[in-house]
Amino acid sequence: MAALYLASGSPRRRELLEQIGVAFSVIAAPIDETPLPNELPELYVERLARGKARAGLAGLGGPGVVLGADTSVVLDGRILGKPENAAQAQAMLLALGGREHQVLTAVAVTDGTREQAVCVSSRVRFCAISAARAEAYWHTGEPADKAGGYAIQGLGAVFVESLDGSYSSVVGLPLCETAQLLAQMGVACWQ
């Protein structure tokens, strides 16, 4: 069985892979995450997932399968990245409040010879959010390093009225699709 490497520093992605019984090692894969001019969100997340997988493979220096992933929150066609400060985080939450938004997660796997990728789209509807509640959420520390400024698997779950799609994808790794991609590369679940 091929050795798997996760090209991500995300503790959530590590937990999700562990949840499905996949053995892996973490490898650094720094890439430029700046969106290209007029780049569609779906193409953006897939480009980053592929870029992380390729960068991880380049850093390996030997055989293995590398998984890269990227998640973006999209509102009105605009990618909401990780907030840089309290004001930006609160503005994101106020914009998301009372509305539906899209969460895109792309996953790419490569062994240097083969490369496969998939992009999963989910729809999340938030309840209305007051400025005071957005500020209080910022002070929990949770939104600081999250796409769209919230974590569905954490305290931010209180904002979610409904979810149409993959919960694990919104967290950061669509498990059904990831397991399928890994199987194509000879990496099994439930190891």
Catalytic residues: 70
Is 102:148 a contact under the CB 8 Å cutoff? Answer: no
**For 81-90, b where at least 16 C-beta lie within 10 A, e where not — what string?**
bbbeeeebbb
Distance between CA atoms of residues 1 and 35, nearest Å: 36
3-state helix, strand, coil in the chain (%, to 5): 40, 25, 35
Both tokens assigned to 153: 């698997």
Distance between CA atoms of residues 117 and 1, nearest Å: 20
Distance between CA atoms of residues 145 and 127, nearest Å: 22
